[in-house]
Structure 1
Amino acid sequence: MQLRISILVLLFLLLATHNKVQAQIELTDTTNIYRVDKQIEILIDSTGRLTFDEVNKLPFRKSNNYLTFGYLKKPIWLKIKATSLQPAAHWYLEIPAPFLEYIDYYQRTETGWQHARSGYYLPQSQRSIPHTNHVLALTFDSLHTTEVYIQITGLSPKTFPLYIMGKEVFHEKTRTDDLWYGVFFGILLVMLFYNFFIYLSLKQKNYLFYMGTIVCTFLIFASASGYAGRFLWPEHPNINFYTGRLSLGVIGILLTLFTIRFLEVPKYSRGMYYALLTLIPLSIIAMFLVALKEVPSAGNNLISICTIMFMTTGIVCRIKGNVIASYYIAAWTIYLIGGLLLTLRNSGFFDFNFWTTHFVEIGAAMETSIIAFALGDRYRRYKLEKEEIQLQALKMQQSTNELLEKKVRERTEDLIRANTELHANLVTIKKQTEIIEAKNAELDGFFYRISHDLRGPISSLLGLSYLAKLEVSDPQALDYLNRQHEQVDRLNQVVRGLINLTRLNNTSLTYEKIDFVNLVDACINSLQGLSKFSKVRFIKEVDPEIDYEAEWIMLHAIVQNLIENSIKYSRETDAFVRIAIRQQADYILLEVEDNGVGIPDEHQARIFELFYRANHKTAGSGLGLYILKRSVERLSGKIEIKSKPGEGTTFIIQLPRKI
């Protein structure tokens, strides 16, 4: 019986020793990189409140697989025991997952447990070893063993590996990672300048949008890989967070605008065009949710939606005949595969390895390059089309020039013939003009002589009729004499008008300074013999400081004619005539306004015609306004009329200050 008990105790001790040895990680080769995921122990803190002292007393379970916890929100505790068989070696523990928010290390030393921190939100200066990843230098006791507890908390995906390696291997691995990320970021920068130079050539906004997406891609991956937090803003992890996450929203907007223009979506599918437009407000909402820390993963969710929408748009446009969409589909297929692998890894379905971690970066680099080459191909097409159009234009221009030269020769010959005929006609017209001018001169002389010859008899008739009216008392005879007097007076006006017209055509102007105040008074006084003169109230608004030179007689005739017409056609009661003369910047403004009977609209366009009379019930020759207009034009002026029947008439004359 005692023998059996002794055997059982021995087996128990051997089993415990075996388990203890199995939990220990033996570090033998400093040139090797040890992945220790399956050789550690794990504890899930379901309460979320356990302290290190409490955890140190609790049992852990053995990890038999890779660390794929997905989006587990509960704190995870890891327990690592290792033995160094190279006493002089320096060993580093690395967690290559920059996105882990909070990491606490508790390492056993000769003096007790030493606490160190790392994590996405911890400045580089507060980390034990500044690095893009989370690194801890291991310390060993006199027995060359070490024990480390690691607490990992936060909302980021918790799928990651654990590596232990020697110091030299660690630095070599860091240099290799830096090199490959340098290549990746270098590709982005090359594509950025490539598109920039194409933009300078074509000036198309498409290239600006894509340059913006490249910049955002650079910021997103620099933030996610830890390089932005390490080199750009090492002491400001919040800037690193917002730069990466907000850039997801910006890239969503830029890629939407780029896709619409690059694939000419409205041309091929109105439905997909409106669907893409919805991504712009979604991107803005995602940025607000990230900025307010309500949904930190909103940017990643947005990119997932955008990727599906962009792929669908590319396929639809390709089906409907857009050849350039083939490049687009190829680029987004590679990027979609990389994003899918990364998403499945973060969710815990796949292990943390090279392909699940870096294929999205490879896809981003290839997507950027393919789209850039597609844009370059479009540039090449534009260039070929432009050259073809230029060649066609050149041929067309040559053909047009030949045709034009032929037309010019024909037209030149026609013009020479026409010019010869025109010259002969001009000679004929000149001779005819000389004859007409001579005849007109004779006619003007005849009119002037005959008018003067008629003035004497007409004056005698007027005088005799006036004397006869004084001597005759018979009413019927007086009526005959009055009618005779009116007709002779009308004939006198016609003759006087003809004399004035003849003088206007043949007399040169004599300029003198005009005193408008005296001129208006003289015109009014000369009309006192009119029957309605005493019933009219005169309003004079004359600027006495006007500086103007002109023909006194001609200007006197103009003003007198206007005032005379206003008096003749004045109303019976409360009649007025307003004479206003003002000096403007470049001309003299002369207005004669009355409140008389007015002129109907149908007569206003013709009242300046020769012998035209708007009212046949009143005496007049039909020459006054014609001579008035000719006189104004002789002074290089303009005249217009404003009149309403029953309200009155206004004549407006503009005379240039320099004739």
Structure 2
Amino acid sequence: MIMEVTSAPAQPGVKTEQADNASPMCMQDDCRLFGTLLNEAPQGILVVDDADTIVFANLAMSVMLIPHSLEEGRPLGTAPSLEAITRIIADARTRRTRVEGELRLPLPHSYAAEWSHERHYHLSAAPWSEGGRSGIWVMVEDRTEHDTIAQTRQDFVTSAGHELRTPLSLIHGYIETLKSGMIKNTTSLVRCLDVMEKHSRRMMRIIDDMLTISRLEGLEEPLKTESFLVRGCVHDAIEHLTPLVEIRQPLITLDFPPDGGLLNGDRFYWDQIFSNLIENALKENPRTGLRITISGRWTEHECIITVTDDGIGIRPEDLPNAFKRFYRGAQESKGTGLGLSIVKRAVEVHGGTIDLESHPGVSTVFTIRVPLPG
């Protein structure tokens, strides 16, 4: 049941007198210039002398080593979290050559909500000498995102292989049974074919979802943006899910402005967004009579869409993983585990965000915010 609610460069090789008699002021200006340029570098750069006194530390380095203070003219320090830095400095000083290392550094609690709880850094260090002074320079490159992407890809391939292997194994088993001639009656034969068809459809769904994720990740082609009514898009998604809706018999309430809510975007991906969110609610809640409310509100700068249900909800420990590929949580639903990943990525390619809040047994709310053209 659906309920509607409205609401002049110098010559090469020529030595100039100015170059031979550069004043200290010019040298200081050069240092300031290089310091300014190095502060724009994404890599952390640290320079210490032979006494491990800080000669220079750029902004990126200071941020990476928060809350440690890196002040020029002061000792580097011996804090436990700086152990990898001090160790690679000592190693480069002993070997008198360039050395490399790794550092995994936990972040303060106040940053944990925005970033990963641990950052992975690649370290390079080598000796330097200039104007009678010498020491060690260290370059730090943040590899966290690179490693996360690599791990995600590996996990994706492993999970995809497992998800496809299961139905393929079942289909192969039934083929072997049919070839053996053990099945003699029509009823058993039809049952075998039904199971094979069911699992072949499951593989097709997994492959389709994987292709959708791949297109969203690459997105080499621009979005096919058009104006459409969000309420109509939701209606189409519900119609697409008619067999499941007829079985679950939910009460679906649509709350949109009288005009249906106009939005610019790629209609194909918005169909995916609403189909997956509604299907997720229905599959995670097998009881009949589930209440689902889909609403849209437009402000001057953004469109806010919510999809709410009063089902069993999502456990707090599962919430951080809800949008991960192939993650299905404690309920062990029979979906592909890619639906919410597709939803999140589809919203993001439209410049939007999606948040999830759930109180088990009370409500689960997906909130989508999409910026509107200025």
Q: Which one has more relative contact order, counting CA pairs under 8 Å at least 6 apart? A: 2
With structure 2 as the length reference, what TM-score do the two structures score? 0.49
With structure 1 as the length reference, what TM-score do the two structures score? 0.29
